[in-house]
Structure 1
């Protein structure tokens, strides 16, 4: 029996909104604003204080499902905390074996950060469901075509410096999805609870794809 790919829906949605903000007044409202703008995958990061609470509130709201993730996960303890709080997938900024181990024990997929072919190989050896190429803007879309040679069929996600102007180029070069950061969720707008602005930014980003 073939095991279903937990990240398969991401291939259709194509965008993960990565939230880095000094504060999030209402995580559920933020997710609703993004969803209204066409983005159903949201990554809350450990760079925001009180991440576990935000994950719990977002998880309790209807409509996000598999799209709720935790990012900048560096340790097994953080991985376990995020999963307990409702994260359905984890994202790391680099190769983190301890995070991979904790996620595997819980049956939760990991999108593991990498840049070089060596790091991509290490991430795959650790069981990553997808590999986040970070920072993607450093080598550009061509890097994704180059990686497809030694790693055909590998799910690659573009993160770092991705915006409405270049996102489509990363997808055309073979990326499974792209991560939208401040282009869609500016920290100041998130902290102010300006959900209307975030919905409009999400619409503009998805339209550019």
Structure 2
């Protein structure tokens, strides 16, 4: 799996973070049907490794682990079935483990210096957070010193603003609670999740 090719093709991924996810397989299936097959389960979700293990066998899912904070968490996530890793900030031990196991990693960054550090550590793409607060123009600014660098916009994005970040140069955008809210996940309201995913994908298509 070439994560960068998938991000360039799909232009969107979905982060799943909720206190309770009773049916992760059904949730993943709803996202795939809605057009968001690149899915990140945040390790801040209780029992996240077990959820990743259960979802890893779902057809059509490109499954990753998010909010990975240590080398041990990286190892555990990969062992559970995660095919890529994401971090909220610069986590060099996570990057080192991902590189060692030849697993794509997307390190989080905000400043130009952090972006450079992520690239030097082997980050496949760089997750810029918090995107909504920084604004689309910030992505154009970053591409001044870093032309062509794949940047993933994360934080506060929804169907109403996601396309602006793609137009500003982001390689992909991240859907979050606007698609999979904690309530929808806990109550297994898959029809609503599927609809929200489709709306996000449709909005991304205009970027």
- Structure 2 length normalisation: TM-score? 0.96
Structure 2 equivalent of residue 153 of structure 1: 148
Task: Indicate whether 1:72 and 2:61 are aligned.
Answer: no
Q: CA deviation at 1:96?
A: 0.4
* Structure 2 unmatched ranges of 5 or more: none
Task: Indicate whether 1:34 and 2:28 are aligned.
Answer: no
In structure 2, which of residues 112, 123, 126 is the aligned counterpart of residue 128 of structure 1?
Answer: 123
Task: Indicate whether 1:172 and 2:167 are aligned.
Answer: yes
* Structure 1 unmatched ranges of 5 or more: none
Q: CA RMSD in A?
A: 1.0
String of CA shifts for 1:66-93, please: whole Å, max 9, x gaps.
Answer: x200000000010000000000000000
In structure 1, which of residues 98, 121, 142 is the aligned counterpart of residue 137 of structure 2?
Answer: 142
Q: CA deviation at 1:7?
A: 2.1
How many residues are paired up?
204
Q: Distance in 2 between matches of 1:88 and 1:7?
A: 12
In structure 2, which of residues 173, 176, 184 is the aligned counterpart of residue 189 of structure 1?
Answer: 184
